[in-house]
Each structure stands twice: as structure tokens, then as C-alpha cells.
A and B are shown apart, each in its own frame.
Chain A
Amino acid sequence: QQPVQSPQAVILREGEDAVINCSSSKALYSVHWYRQKHGEAPVFLMILLKGGEQKGHEKISASFNEKKQQSSLYLTASQLSYSGTYFCGTEETVGGGSQGNLIFGKGTKLSVKP
């Protein structure tokens, strides 16, 4: 079940903050976040695990609400380099374990202006 991302697009000025949301109708094992710049490959940012463990980026934070199957990515004091399309990838729970593969949302396009 493809996760739903919101908003679809957002435009910021340098220094402003943004929040990107990802929600699923399925029970999740983990949530991954990636950023993709135009014409390039997606790049891993962060993984959020059941139980609250996080691995990832220094300047970007995220949360994972296991009860609501929702994750949010927080971009603070945005820089021009933050521009790109952000994807969440969800790993669903199956039979108490992980389904294993990632299902990606459709993406959120972030544009940071000077």
C-alpha cells in the first residue's frame, strides 16, 4: 500500500522551516526518507525504526508515530541545497515481522529560494 505524502510541493525562502508528512494505512516496521535532486539518484537521509531508534542526517530530523503509522520530516533553517524531491519509503509489518521491501510515496517537491 503506497504511503501518502503531503504536501505535494512546497516553496520556501532560505532560513524558513518545512515539515513533510508521510502516512500509511498499514502497520509499519520502519520509515525511510530520501532526497532526490533533478536528474540524480535518490540519496538516503534517515531511517526511523519501531521503538524510536533513528539513524541519519545531522541537520534534518524526523519523527515516527507508530500508533498512527505516520512519519514527519523536519527541515529547519532551510538552505538552497535542501531543494529537491523528498520521498518516504515504508517497510510494512507482516505477521509480526517485516515485509522487507520498501514502498515509496509519490514525493514532495521542495524548492528553496534565496
Chain B
Amino acid sequence: DAGITQSPRHKVTETGTPVTLRCHQTENHRYMYWYRQDPGHGLRLIHYSYGVKDTDKGEVSDGYSVSRSKTEDFLLTLESATSSQTSVYFCAISKTGTRHYNEQFFGPGTRLTVL
């Protein structure tokens, strides 16, 4: 158990509304990640963070922004949700001090439905 929680766990929203998903960790790890998982695509990286206020884009970052003002929290925001953003969103952390050669631990996921 890597002490990762995500909130909310389920959300239904309408097209055009802003949505923020929260990832919280209790162990002060440096690296945090946001992925989305869709049938037939596997896990795809949206954004990642390597410290407070240090973030970078992943492969599917369009339409998403992130913020990390505290080590323990990594927020993912959909500024104006679209139906194509209906997905399961996973947060992950790396327990070692670098991004390389280290396993990632995933939170329980947030199921987001955009109508």
C-alpha cells in the first residue's frame, strides 16, 4: 500500500463543465503521475510532476492541466470537459528519488463520465 487516495472515485458531469480530480499521497514521494485508461488503449500518460510546482506534459495532455502546490497533492483539471474525456483516471507515484528504473504504484482510480 503506497498511501495513495483519489477523489472523487466516481463522477458524472456534463460537457463544458470544469472538473478537478485530486490525488493525495501520504509518503512525500517526489514523482507523481496522471494516466487515463480506455478500452483498447492501455494506460496513457497525461501529465507528471517531479516536485512542488514542477510538472510536465505526457503523451495525451491536450485538454488537461495539472497543479502541485504541496508535495502530497497532485490535481488534474479538465477545463471544459468533453465526452472524449470519459475514462478511468489513475494517479501513480514512484517511491524512489528518480523516475528511472523504479516501479510505479497506482491509486484506486476515478471513473469519470462526461455526458
Contact = CB atoms under 8 A, between A and B. Distances in A.
Contacts of A44: 103-105
- Give the dominant DSSP class at A's interface: strand
Contact of B101 (A40, A41, A47, A106): A47
A111 to B, nearest CB: 17
Contacts of A91: 100-101
Interface residues of B, number: 22
B44 interface: yes
Contacts of B41: 106
B74 interface: no
Contact of B58 (A2, A43, A101): A101
B99 A43 contact: no
Contact of B100 (A29, A41, A105, A107): A29
Interface string B36-75: 0000111111001000000000110000000000000000
A15 interface: no
B40 A43 contact: no
Interface of A: 2, 29-30, 32, 40-44, 47, 49, 55, 87, 89, 91, 98, 100-107
Q: Sorted from nearest, which 4 A-B pairs have the closest CB atoms? A: A41-B106, A44-B103, A100-B99, A104-B43
